[in-house]
């Protein structure tokens, strides 16, 4: 039986005002083994099942190789927490399936394939290429990231489905809010590049998605507020949440404050940037 294996990292998207255009890969790995087969099977967390036709891993494997596979998934990326679990498992699945066919995947093809299915180029770009990426109109660019910055995540136990978080957003926002967000994004990119605390402070806040999602997960806002009070340079929702992201030089007080805020309702972790994407 022909077998392929691949991994891909999780990611945090948006980082506040970078809604649907910024993604940062983090060292939470999704590992997938694919075996060519006559029927579909997914084994994960000790459970085996036949994926439905609209299951993301089945869709991406079908698009990648056009035939059934048996998939074994071992993922460190928690689901429905805003850490790019869907993009990670799809990238790893597509790459593993192609390797099972004797093909070595190309990053550009993986990125286009996963983005077409999931519709989120920010997470897909981070999972494929690693590091900090910006996406727009099908184009992707790698952005510089200061090595002095550290990334702390408060991950609640409670899940929040991306579709639910998306449905909370309005179809239109006031022009003034859009202008303020554009300014925040400019400061955010510069702050991430240089590690300048003043620039990152100017990037704080979001009026395109976080403002409308706050009622869905009050603990996310509590974690962000606690991190800011403890000296975080910048805070945001991680993707569609409910995970909160805090960026800091000195992580110890930020971790302590976020652990107090989460109060046993989840965990707080420092995650390294995944400098490489799928492998």
Tens digit of each residue's pLDDT (9 = 90 or more) over 22-61 = 999 999 999 999 999 999 999 998 899 999 999 999 999 9
Tens digit of each residue's pLDDT (9 = 90 or more) over 210-224 = 999 999 999 999 999
Q: What is the DSSP string of 245-256?
A: EEEESSHHHHHH
Which domains, from first to last, does the chain contain? 3-142 (3.30.230.10), 150-271 (3.30.70.890)
Alpha-carbon distance of 40 to 257, in angstroms, equals 46
Tens digit of each residue's pLDDT (9 = 90 or more) over 54-98 = 999 999 999 999 999 999 999 999 999 999 999 999 999 999 999
Burial class (CB in 10 A: 0-12, 13-18, 19+), 164: middle
Alpha-carbon distance of 217 to 2, in angstroms, equals 44
Mean pLDDT over residues 124-146, rounded? 96
Q: What is the DSSP string of 37-64?
A: -SS-EEEETTEEEPPPTT-HHHHHHHHH
pTM for this prediction: 0.94
Residue 1 has pLDDT above 80, yes or no: no
Tens digit of each residue's pLDDT (9 = 90 or more) over 172-190 = 999 999 999 999 999 999 9
Alpha-carbon distance of 232 to 38, in angstroms, equals 52
Tens digit of each residue's pLDDT (9 = 90 or more) over 238-264 = 999 999 999 999 999 999 999 999 999
DSSP 8-state code for residue 72 = E
């Amino acid at each position: 039986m022909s077998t392929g294996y691949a991994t891909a990292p999780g990611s945090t998207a948006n980082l506040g005002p970078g809604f649907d255009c910024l993604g940062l890969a983090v060292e939470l790995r999704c590992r997938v083994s694919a075996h060519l087969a006559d029927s579909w099977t997914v084994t994960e967390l000790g459970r085996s099942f036949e994926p439905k036709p609209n299951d993301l891993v089945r869709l991406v494997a079908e698009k990648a190789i056009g035939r059934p596979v048996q998939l074994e998934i071992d993922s460190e990326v928690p689901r429905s927490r805003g850490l790019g679990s869907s993009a990670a498992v799809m990238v790893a699945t597509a790459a593993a399936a192609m390797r099972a066919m004797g093909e070595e995947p190309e990053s550009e093809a993986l990125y286009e394939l996963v983005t077409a299915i999931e519709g989120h180029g920010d997470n897909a770009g981070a999972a494929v290429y690693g590091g900090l990426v910006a996406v727009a109109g099908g184009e992707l660019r790698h952005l510089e990231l200061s090595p002095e910055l550290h990334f702390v995540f408060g991950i609640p136990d409670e899940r929040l489905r991306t579709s639910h978080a998306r449905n909370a957003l309005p179809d239109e926002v006031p022009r003034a809010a859009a202008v303020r967000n554009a300014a925040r994004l400019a400061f955010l990119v510069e702050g991430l590049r240089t590690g300048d605390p003043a620039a990152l402070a100017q990037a704080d806040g979001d009026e395109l998605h976080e403002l409308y999602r706050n009622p869905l997960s009050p603990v996310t806002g509590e974690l962000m507020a606690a991190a800011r009070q403890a000296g975080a340079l910048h805070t945001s929702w991680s993707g569609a949440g409910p995970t909160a992201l805090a960026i800091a030089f000195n992580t110890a007080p930020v971790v302590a404050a976020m652990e107090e805020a989460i109060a046993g309702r989840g965990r707080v972790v420092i995650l390294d940037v995944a400098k490489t994407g799928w492998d």
